[in-house]
Amino acid sequence: MAAVGFIFAMICIFGVYVAEGGSMEPIIEAAPAEFATIFGSAVGSMIVANSMDVFKGAFAGFGKVIAGPKYKKEDFLGTIFVVAKIMKTLKAEGAVALEAHIEAPESSAIFAECPNLLKDHGVLDLICNTVRLLVVSSGTLSPYAVEDIMDASIKLHHHNEMKPSQALAALGGALPALGIVSCVLGVVKTMAAIDQPPPVLGAMIGGALVGTFMGVLLAYTVAEPFSQRLGQIVDEEGEMYKVVKQMLIGTMHGHPVPLVIEAARVCISHHNQPTFGEVFDGLRGK
């Protein structure tokens, strides 16, 4: 949908401009130089303001927005089933039976039931590290203490995942000003050629104004919308961490299975949320 929205915005902006008699020639002629100035200064500013990981994450975020969230309903269901099976194995067979699964999840028959889970090292580490605590403590840990640790881990993960979105938001705020910088340089160039005839000066001023236009355009049709959507995707993908937490903590408290299911299920957005029956029936089949 992101690509569709961007294309629609471009059609509305440039389509109406051309329909009203505007010529694309001045824009096309000035665009390469103006874009090089604005984009180059934007990239340089982002390198100064962010770590290299955040910088790479910000530009990778464009692809992430176009692709959309990586989790679907099936992934949430699969994760619930995997965590439930891990806790069931811990209760029925003891800590020794789980050691191989949490130390080498990539070769675990339990984790193999949800292949996409193996691709997400953050969620995988949250599950394995928490279960590892239960294993080495022989089940004597307080569920409240474990919950505090999980909350801290989830909060830090979310904070780090939001940094690329915040970097894009900062870029969106800077782009109009960088467009003005490019425009001012164009005006300086025009003033240095003030002895030229009006048609030449008009073309130079028009080229300078393209800089302001491009700065505003990139800010409000690219950087800020993509930043906002990237933040939404991070929030949505963060629901997986909450599902894992509710499954583990609820089971540690000894809550009934229906309550554990509902606690995990309500953490999921409605468009990905499985029904209670889908989860319950799936667990009964495990």
Q: Rounded to whole angstroms, how far apart are CA atoms 138 and 258?
A: 26
Q: Are 80 and 247 in contact (CB under 8 A)?
A: yes
Residue 75: count of CB within 10 angstroms of its CB:
22
Output the furthest CA–CA distance in the chain (Å, rounded).
90
Q: Write the DSSP assignment of 81-122 as a string of letters.
A: HHHHHHHHHHHHH-THHHHHHHH-GGG-TTGGGSHHHHH-HH
**pLDDT in the model for residue 285:** 63
**pLDDT in the model for residue 272:** 94
**pLDDT in the model for residue 139:** 62
pTM of the entire predicted model = 0.88
Residue found by looking up tokens 């906002």 in the block: 228
The tokens describing 116, both together, are 């996409």
Q: Rounded to whole angstroms, how far apart are CA atoms 78 and 63?
A: 25
Per-residue pLDDT of the chain (286 residues; tens, 9 = 90+): 788 998 999 999 999 999 999 889 989 999 999 999 999 999 999 999 999 999 999 999 999 999 999 999 999 999 999 999 998 888 888 777 888 888 889 889 899 988 888 889 999 999 999 988 888 886 678 999 999 999 999 999 999 999 999 999 999 999 999 999 999 999 999 988 888 898 888 889 998 999 999 999 999 999 999 999 999 999 999 999 999 999 999 999 999 988 999 999 999 999 999 998 899 888 876 5
Cβ neighbors of 121 (< 8 A, separation 6 or more) are: none
Q: What letters, b where the CB count within 10 A reaches 16 and e where it falls short, cover 149-160? A: ebeebbeebeee
Q: What letters, b where the CB count within 10 A reaches 16 and e where it falls short, cover 252-261? A: beebeeeebb
**pLDDT in the model for residue 283:** 81
Q: Rounded to whole angstroms, how far apart are CA atoms 110 and 99?
A: 12
Q: Rounded to whole angstroms, how far apart are CA atoms 33 and 48?
A: 23
